[in-house]
Chains A and B, each alone.
Chain A
Amino acid sequence: MRIRWARDPETLDPLFAPNLAAFDANNLLHVSLLQGDIATQQLAPALAEQLPTVQLVGDSLTRLQYRIRPAATWDNGRAVLASDVDFTLKLMLCPGLPNEAARNQYSFIRAVLPHPQDPRRFTLLCRGQSLEFAQASGDFFILPEHSLDPRGLLRRWSLADLQRQPLPLPADSGARAVAQQYLAAVASRSSNRLSGCGPYELLKWEKDRFLSFRRKPRWWGSRLQPAPLVLQARPQQLEYVIIPDVATAALALQRGDVDVFPQMPAREFARLRAAPAARSALRFYTSPSYDVATAGFNTRHPALADALTRRALSRCFDAAGLLRATQLGEGQRTVGIISPADRANYNDSLAPVPFAPDSAVALLRRAGWQRRSAPHEGWFRSTGRGADQQLRLLVRYRAEEVLFGTVALQFQAAAASIGVPVTLRPTEPGTFATAMRSGDFDVYLRVLRGNPFMFNFTQLLHSASANNVTKFGTPASDRLIAAIARADNPARRTALLRQFQALLQAEAPIVPLFYLPNRVAANRALTGLHVGSLRPGFAAATIERVAQPAP
């Protein structure tokens, strides 16, 4: 089974996957307690025997009780135990790892309490009470303690100890040693790298060419009857072929060199679907997705620090035109970063930001900008001290993304029409990530990937988060983000989410343009291909090839 990837995953770090390809690969190698079921669009038990039992303690604690499936084992036959869950949570907090996101995401778990009699049973003691704890507590890959920390260095400290920063010296040196061991294990591209309890093992990885995965001969999931969808592993071998160029990948699909082409661009998808030869050889699937095309402003830059300027510039994006031009009208316009498909939480009382460069001029004037004519043409604003600010923008996007190439050109043209100079800087993926972290941009264009289960925006938009690349954050927005993460009933959370969407539209640190559709084209000879809104948009491990009749 050969699947097209647009780029190399760079690393198969299960805790800190840098891109979608790495996430897909990790899904084959590792298993988490709960995993998204693409058929039902719900989180389903994977390593866990069933969804956790939630027990509220007083008004400030939650206990989540899990039991790991008795069949679950590592490759050497050892059982996957509660101690592995405890180890993984501690590993995520080790100094020396890029664990800012994990620290934000799992800080509510204060302790893993093992069951005295059953080593597979454990309770997660959580600080606070939230609707999302049950889902969030199971959403990370479980790693083997016996191979990464054979001496049990992390057992000497509790989870709460490691959550305190900075760590005391002995804890720090021990945790650093384990982190080093982990980094060494995941850095390898060989087949004997860190092995998880997932159904596949890495067979071969040739950078920028292909990654080959082989189903483990004694995969524990195959003993389950019936096997849940999230634990099915039907293909004996899965090969991810890296073909960056869309036309080349489409040709490979038509020639049968590739079996599945996920996230196919709209034009190529439409072209193939209209071609009789392709129609007879391929099947075409579409579904909504939780991927939203967004623009973001760097609020650290003085010119973009105020909401009025950002709102003015957000009116230079022709989201409706871009949706029509780049997605052929498929996909959905949105008012925020909650999908319109989520009818309960989507704030339908707001109107999408209009494309109105003329009204942007009025907003810029209200923000204190004044338009000057030649020789010093442009928009200037007095700062009260030193030189005047000039409104000029540097737009960064990933060089290979045609969608954002079009968005950037459209924005540049609209901004130029009102006298705002815009420089476009298509950037290589690695450099793009660095530029985002260092704040070397005024406007970024990228896809934000979401899911229907969790609404924790701490990483993305909280002022204390290092991953908040816009650096936006006000006391009100921080309070709202925290309140959403803590919401303990659906009605309350819905009200807060609607309020949050209104706040984001008013402050405009990011401009959600539209939700992208998910398009998958696959060989007709395949069965069991489940396509859905959850990333990566299809389930690779359930695909089978129809047996060809003997000649």
Chain B
Amino acid sequence: MAAAWLGLLVLVAVAAPWLPLPYPPNVPDLAHVAQAPLSPGQHWLGTDAQGLDVLSLLVYGSRTAVFITFPAAVLAAMVGGVLGGAAGFWGNRVRAAAGYWLLALGAAWWFLRLPMFGLGLLMAAAGVARLLWRPRRGAAYSTSVPLDAAVMGVATALDTIPHLVLVLAIAAGTGGVSALGLLAILAFTAWSTPARLVRAQMRRTRALPFTEAAQAAGIPAWQIWLKHAMPHAISPLRAALPLSLARLLGLESTLSFLGVGLPPEVASWGRLMASFRYDTSAWWVFVFPITILTFSMLSLHFLSSAPRRQAAR
């Protein structure tokens, strides 16, 4: 049932431009403003306080929900999986040569746009030179990288700030966001949970006999990580992805409800719900999107607990 509902939602989202909707979602019908469902005219689910067709807004809102939250959740899972997997596998023991440190410093200099741009460039160049002309003999001047501490530190720092506040601050600081920008922001705030899950699983996987056997066989560490350990470590994401999707769906709707999410011409369930404030007698602009949102979130929660239920049987 949950899968069927979500499947229908995805189908509607993908097929939205080809559906025979009587009105486009962002063209106001000024002759029928705040019209109730099934009133004369072709607005089957009514119109909002701006004369926008509720049915079209729901259909295109599902498109926004699917095409923003799904890629954001997948991106967050990928980023979190890679970072958490690396942190769990290598911990704080991996050593990096001085050249890599210099290169990383130069890149950070450029990324943070620090003053004296030339100095950052010089560092990066020195790092590259050091890596290309490594001394064949003598000390390699390498230092351990606190990879685990860094990943978990950033994830903890990210979790200490409420995500809604963080996203609001980013959106306000950038003066509004595009659909792609919102996707990036949502992904940025959501990677910490997958990272923690994969890291924990990776620490268990690393201690398993097949990993030790692979190390004993002389297989390079990165190959063991990628080909043998990661497929096991990412298994918790199967259950976590639907939950992440539900959370991002809620966050996107909240942002649109607050009017800081997407541009005004992009349909969104959250914005449709917000339009209830402009005409509190228009119950249909609230009831329809909240029902769809609730069904979608319940379905995602149900899907996330499916593996647990299967295991219990």
Contacts and interface: CB of A to CB of B under 8 A. Distances in A.
A424 B264 CA distance: 7
A267 B52 contact: no
B282 to A, nearest CB: 9
A318 B30 CA distance: 9
A410 interface: yes
Given A402-B49, A412-B265, A247 B280 contact: yes
A318 B281 CA distance: 26
A265 B278 contact: yes
B290 to A, nearest CB: 16
Interface in A271-328: 271, 318, 321-322, 324-326
B280 A413 contact: no
B34 A247 contact: no
A325 B30 contact: yes
B280 A402 contact: no
DSSP class of A's interface residues: helix, strand, loop or mixed? helix
Contacts of A245: 277
Interface in A49-78: none
Contact of A409 (B31, B34, B52, B278): B52
A413 B33 CA distance: 16
Contacts of A408: 264
A352 interface: no
B46 interface: no
B280 A325 contact: no
What's the interface size class on B, roughly?
20 to 34
A405 interface: yes
Contacts of A246: 277-278
A402 B278 contact: yes
Contacts of A324: 30-31
Interface string B274-304: 0011111100000000000000000000000
5 contacts: A271-B279, A318-B30, A406-B50, A409-B264, A413-B26
A406 B51 CA distance: 8
Interface in A418-461: 423-426, 431
B115 interface: no
Interface string A135-165: 0000000000000000000000000000000
Interface in B41-69: 49-52
Interface of A: 245-248, 250, 265, 267-268, 271, 318, 321-322, 324-326, 399, 402, 405-406, 408-410, 412-413, 423-426, 431
A271 B30 contact: no
A411 B33 CA distance: 16
Q: Which of B50, B51, B175, B276 has the most CB of A within 10 A?
A: B50
Contacts of B37: none
A471 to B, nearest CB: 23
A416 to B, nearest CB: 8
B153 interface: no
Given A325-B51, A405-B50, A426-B264, A247 B277 contact: yes
Contacts of B30: 318, 321-322, 324-325, 406, 410
Nearest to A423: B263
Interface of B: 24, 26-28, 30-31, 33-34, 49-52, 175-176, 259, 263-265, 276-281
Contacts of B52: 409
Nearest to B26: A409
Nearest to B176: A425
DSSP class of B's interface residues: helix, strand, loop or mixed? loop
B304 to A, nearest CB: 35
A247 to B, nearest CB: 4
Contacts of B277: 245-248
Contacts of A426: 259, 264
Contacts of A399: 259
A201 B22 CA distance: 58
B268 to A, nearest CB: 14
B92 to A, nearest CB: 45
A424 B278 contact: no
A161 to B, nearest CB: 43
A326 B34 CA distance: 10
B278 A267 contact: yes
A194 to B, nearest CB: 32
B280 to A, nearest CB: 5
B169 to A, nearest CB: 14
Given A325-B33, A424-B265, 5 more contacts: A246-B278, A247-B277, A402-B50, A410-B28, A424-B264
Contact of B26 (A326, A412, A431): A412
A409 B175 contact: no
* Shortest 7 CB-CB contacts between residues of A and residues of B: A321-B30, A325-B30, A413-B27, A325-B33, A247-B277, A406-B50, A267-B279
A409 B265 contact: yes
A325 B176 CA distance: 28
Contacts of B259: 399, 426
Contacts of B264: 405, 408-409, 424, 426
A219 B265 CA distance: 53
A412 B52 CA distance: 13
Contact of B49 (A248, A267, A410, A412): A267
A406 B31 contact: no
A406 B277 CA distance: 15
Contacts of A247: 276-278, 280
Contacts of B263: 423-424
Given A271-B280, A426-B264, A409 B27 contact: yes
A399 B50 CA distance: 14
Contacts of A423: 263
A55 to B, nearest CB: 54
Nearest to B276: A247
A216 B47 CA distance: 51
Contacts of A318: 30
Contacts of A265: 278
Nearest to A406: B50
B271 to A, nearest CB: 10
Contacts of A271: 279-281
